[in-house]
Amino acid sequence: GKPFGLPSRYAAFANSIMMISSAYQETHRASVGHPHSPVLSTALAIGEERGSNGRDFIAAVVGGYEAFVRMAASMNPSALHRGIQTTGAFAPFGAAAVTARLMGLDRDQTRHALNHAANFGGAALVEAHGATPYYAVHLGPNTMKGIYAAELAAAGVPGSDTILEGGGTSAKGFLDAYADEYDTGLIENGMGGLLGIQDTGFSFHSVASYSRTTIDALLWLIKEHELTIDTVAAIEVKLTEALFNFVNDRAQFSSDGDRQAHYFIPLHMALTMVHGWVDSAMLNDETFADPVIQDLIEKVTVSCDPSLDADFAKSKSITAAIVEVMTSDGRKLTRRQDVWHGDPADPPTWQEIEQKFRRIAGRVIGDSAAEQAVAMVLDLDKADDVRPLGRLIRKG
């Protein structure tokens, strides 16, 4: 929504950080990551700078998702357990694949671009979330690294073909360096089948990815048992151990206003009871001060249930959750939710996606520009040049 442009690498730097900073994040369930941030920020920047056509733009985005998702899914949840922040660590793969496609690199050059991306990857730690308030600055430099990786390959600089598995000059490559367990079959197999972008879910609540399933579980209990604010005595939310350790106290306590509110599960449960959803416009000091919201927050506890982790091999859902509601008349109501509405296993309608975009984008670029953007995206495969889309987003 800002009326100026930057060189592509700096535009990708800034936009990747802004994209990941919004809690309306796409999430790939098995990889436990948000590929849209490095992939789309790079595609928009490189595509606009080079005047790419719509078909090449789409192909680059699909390829970027594929590179990110295959690598991240092959190494998680092990990498996450080791303290590696998924989206930042694997951002260079997605950005390199996008840039290679839009620069027109050949097969060998693209291979070397991805080799360089592996060499540059991994540099993101979960512990960085301990900053208060937390800003996802790691996405910017790691997205830029992917662009550099493709530029190096284009200039003829080779990468190591054993960078993933090791064995060239070291017994350990990227896989062993950043994960105790990994599955190379998820990198190599299934090409041409279900694409990573098709297996990535949308978010319809302004919350961290682990809280979407908790909201949907509570919504189900509200509808099924006709719950009201007055009939709820207590709510317990149970997360996977991997995610509970990842989010730590941020899921249970919040003292930093709206910047940390999208992590704060008790607030999400309270807003769901009152409004039936969580929108970014609700995350403000006025909401926190509402006595009804505060009373509901006090009724919510958050814990972990290791049995949810044990099912990961089957569900591929590190965001699986259990919500238990104790009612004022002594009943205990339970709902387990493995996926959220918006995940490919519970897909949204196209109308829901459009409505979400119009609501959120309209606040920044205006309703008219948001409507034009929808029309452009629907006809993107026919576009001779993607630059008008970039100009529209900037000017609003």
The CA distance from 347 to 337, in Å, is 15
**Is there a contact between 37 and 27 (Cβ–Cβ < 8 Å)?**
no
For the chain, give the number of residues: 396
pLDDT tens readout for residues 81-110 = 899 999 999 999 999 999 999 999 999 999
- Give the pLDDT confidence score for residue 313 in this predicted structure: 67
The CA distance from 257 to 287, in Å, is 10
- Give the pLDDT confidence score for residue 121 in this predicted structure: 94
In a domain? residue 274: yes
**Rounded to two decimals, what is the model's pTM?**
0.90
> 349: which DSSP letter?
P
Does residue 133 have a cis bond before it (omega within 30 degrees)? yes
Q: Are residues 192 and 275 in the same domain?
A: no
Query: At 154, which helix (H) or strand (E)?
Result: helix 139-154
Q: Are residues 16 and 127 in the same domain?
A: yes
In a domain? residue 388: no
- Give the pLDDT confidence score for residue 247 in this predicted structure: 67
- Give the pLDDT confidence score for residue 396 in this predicted structure: 56
**DSSP per residue over 325-349, as a string?**
EEETTS-EEEEEESS-BTBTTSPPP
CATH label of the domain that carries residue 111: 1.10.4100.10
- Give the pLDDT confidence score for residue 299 in this predicted structure: 96
Report which residue type is found at 91. Answer: A
Residues of the chain predicted below pLDDT 70: 1-4, 132-133, 246-259, 313, 315-316, 395-396
Q: Where are the alpha helices (DSSP H) in 78-232?
A: 78-81, 86-103, 107-120, 139-154, 174-178, 185-188, 209-225
Q: Are residues 55 and 154 in the same domain?
A: yes
- Give the pLDDT confidence score for residue 95 in this predicted structure: 99
φ and ψ of 77, to 5 deg = -85, 5
- Give the pLDDT confidence score for residue 248 in this predicted structure: 62
Q: Are residues 81 and 63 in the same domain?
A: yes
Q: Are residues 167 and 133 in the same domain?
A: yes
- Give the pLDDT confidence score for residue 256 in this predicted structure: 52
CATH label of the domain that carries residue 295: 3.30.1330.120
State which of 337, 367, 387 marks the end of a domain: 337
